[in-house]
Amino acid sequence: MNIAFTHVVFPGGGAERITIDIAKSLHKGEGDYRFFVYTNDITEELLTEEVSSHFIAVRKVSKKRKVRAAEIEKFIKDDGIDILIEVAARVPGIEGIRERTGCMVIFANHGEPFWQRYSILAKKSRSYMKWRLYRRWIYEKLGWAKIRARKLSRKDYNKCDIYTVLCEKYKIKMCKGLRIKPQSSHIVAINNSEHPVEHIRYDKDKTILFCGRLENVSKRIDRLLRIWGKIQNEIPDWKLVIVGDGPHRDMLEEQIRKEGLERVYLEGRTSNVSPYYKKASIVCLTSQTEGWPLCLTEAQAHGCIPVAFGCSDGVREILSPSGTHGFVVTPFDEDEYAQTLLQIIAMDESAQLKIRQNVVRKSGDFAPDVIAAKWKTLFDYLYLQKIKK
C-alpha cells in the first residue's frame, strides 16, 4: 500500500512529527506500507538519514497552485499512491485528482473544529480603518467568521473520503456544526502521538518553560509575559524560559523591556527541546486556540507539570482531570493562571512528585505504536474501499 502526505514544510513542526511517527511505526511493521511526502519546502538540516529511512521519497513540489496540483497528480500516478493525506496543505483541485487517479483522500485536521475563524479575524483586523468601525462587529459579534469557517470546513469534508480530527469531542462538534449525523459521517477521531522518554528527571529546576512558535495570533505569548509579571517578585529564585522563534519575537522583546520583566530568557529555535523539558518544573501554554498541543504531551512525557487555558476540548482531554494530569485554567483569566502557578510552586515535593508520575503515565495513552495502530486500521479500511470501486 502506497501512502503519501502533503506538507508545506517538511520536516518541521508538530504535524510533520506525527507524519514521521506514523511512517516509522508502520513501514517496517506488520503489513506492506510504503510512505511518500510531497512538500513545498524541505528543511534539509532536519531531513536526517534516520528520518529519510522511513520514506520511499520526499518530493518537492511547486508553491504555485496550478503547477503544484499538476505535479502532485503526476507523482500520485508515478508512485502508485493508494491514499493521499492532506496535512496542513490543501491540494488545489483535489476532487478532480481523486477521480482521475482513483486515489483515496484523507483530510487531517490538526486544529480544533472551525479553527479558520481565528485566522479570518486576524486577517481582517489588518485591513483598512473600515474594519475597526464596521467589519469587526460583523465578523466577530455577528459571527460571520464562524459562518465562513463552517463553509470552509464543509468544503474540506466534501472533498475527502475520511476527515480526521484529534479527539471524539471534536468529532461531535464537527458533526453538529456541519449538521451531519455522527453515525453517517466520514469523520474519524485519532489523537496525536507522543514519544516515551527514557531517564526522566523528577528533581526539576526552578524553571517555567514555554516551547513553541513565537506568533501572537494563536499562541498569545504576551499573556504568559503578563502572568509572569504578576508573580516574578513572589518567586525570586525562579526563571521563565521561552524556546522557539517566530514573527513576533521583536514584539515580545519590547514587551519584556517595557514591563520591566526579569529573569526571562528567549532561547531561540532549537532542533532538540528535550534538554529544556528535562530541567523544567512547569510548562505553560496561554494560547487562544489549540488543536492537540504537543508541547503539553511532551511536558507530560518528561514529567513536567503542564498548565494551560482550557481553550479547546483537545487541551482539556490531555490535562483531564485537572489537578491530576496538569492544570486547566479558565479561559482567559490571567489572574487565575498566576495563582495556579503559585499554587504549584508552593506544593511540597511529595505532592509535586505524585503529579509528575501521573502525567508520565497519562502520556503513555498517546504512545506512537498505540496511535499508529489506529492509522493502520484506517488505512486498511480505505484500501479495501479502493479495491471495491
DSSP SS3 for 90: coil
Q: Are residues 242 and 372 in the same domain?
A: no
Q: Are residues 273 and 355 in the same domain?
A: yes
What is the pTM (predicted TM-score) of this model?
0.90
Could you tell me where the DSSP H helices lie in the chain?
A: 14-26, 49-52, 65-79, 94-101, 116-125, 129-130, 136, 144-158, 168-178, 221-231, 249-258, 274-279, 294-301, 313-319, 334-346, 349-363, 368-388
Separation CA 328–CA 343 (nearest Å): 13
Q: Please indicate, yes or no, if residue 44 is contained in any of the structural domains.
A: yes
Structural domain for 271, as ranges: 207-366
Q: Return the residue matching grid coordinates 492509522.
A: 375
Q: Are residues 180 and 215 in the same domain?
A: no
Query: What are the pLDDT digits (tens) for 125-181?
Result: 555 555 455 555 555 555 667 888 899 999 999 999 999 999 999 999 999 999 999
Q: Please indicate, yes or no, if residue 199 is contained in any of the structural domains.
A: no
Mean pLDDT of the region 295-308: 98
Q: Are residues 311 and 349 in the same domain?
A: yes
Q: Are residues 304 and 320 in the same domain?
A: yes
**Residue 147, pLDDT score:** 84
Q: Please indicate, yes or no, if residue 130 is contained in any of the structural domains.
A: no
Q: Are residues 181 and 289 in the same domain?
A: no
Mean pLDDT of the region 20-48: 90
Residue 7 host element (H or E): strand 2-10
List phi, psi (to 5°) of 298. Answer: -65, -40
Q: Are residues 376 and 361 in the same domain?
A: no
For the chain, the straight-line distance linking the first and the last C-alpha, in angstroms and rounded, comes to 16
Split at pLDDT 50, 70, 90, the class of 103 is very high
Q: Please indicate, yes or no, if residue 135 is contained in any of the structural domains.
A: no
Q: Please indicate, yes or no, if residue 339 is contained in any of the structural domains.
A: yes
Torsion of CA 119, 122, 128, 134, to 10 degrees: 90
* DSSP letter, residue 184: G
Is-contact 190 163, C-beta < 8 A? no
Q: Please indicate, yes or no, if residue 125 is contained in any of the structural domains.
A: no
Query: What are the pLDDT digits (tens) for 43-99?
Result: 998 899 999 999 999 999 999 999 999 999 999 999 999 999 999 678 999 999 999
**Residue 297, pLDDT score:** 98
Q: Are residues 378 and 288 in the same domain?
A: no
Grid cell in block for residue 115: 479553527
Q: Are residues 25 and 93 in the same domain?
A: yes
Q: Are residues 152 and 218 in the same domain?
A: no
Q: Please indicate, yes or no, if residue 91 is contained in any of the structural domains.
A: yes
DSSP SS3 for 373: helix
**Residue 138, pLDDT score:** 56
Query: What are the pLDDT digits (tens) for 107-117?
Result: 999 999 988 76
CA nearest neighbour of 44 among 10, 8, 6: 10
Residue percentage of the chain with pLDDT more than 70: 92
Query: What are the pLDDT digits (tens) for 302-347?
Result: 999 999 999 999 999 999 999 999 999 999 999 999 999 999 999 9
Q: Is the pLDDT of residue 362 over 70?
A: yes
Q: Are residues 220 and 175 in the same domain?
A: no
**Residue 287, pLDDT score:** 96
**Residue 137, pLDDT score:** 53
Residue percentage of the chain with pLDDT more than 90: 83
Mean pLDDT of the region 364-377: 95
**CATH number of the domain that residue 188 is part of:** 3.40.50.2000
Span of 3-12, 19-28, 134-143 with lowest mean pLDDT: 134-143
Measured from the Cβ of residue 133, the count of other Cβ atoms closer than 10 Å reads 9
Number of domains forming the structure of the chain = 2
Query: What are the pLDDT digits (tens) for 231-247?
Result: 999 999 999 999 999 99
Q: Please indicate, yes or no, if residue 121 is contained in any of the structural domains.
A: no
Split at pLDDT 50, 70, 90, the class of 102 is very high
**Residue 145, pLDDT score:** 73
Separation CA 328–CA 306 (nearest Å): 9
Q: Are residues 108 and 176 in the same domain?
A: yes
Split at pLDDT 50, 70, 90, the class of 200 is very high
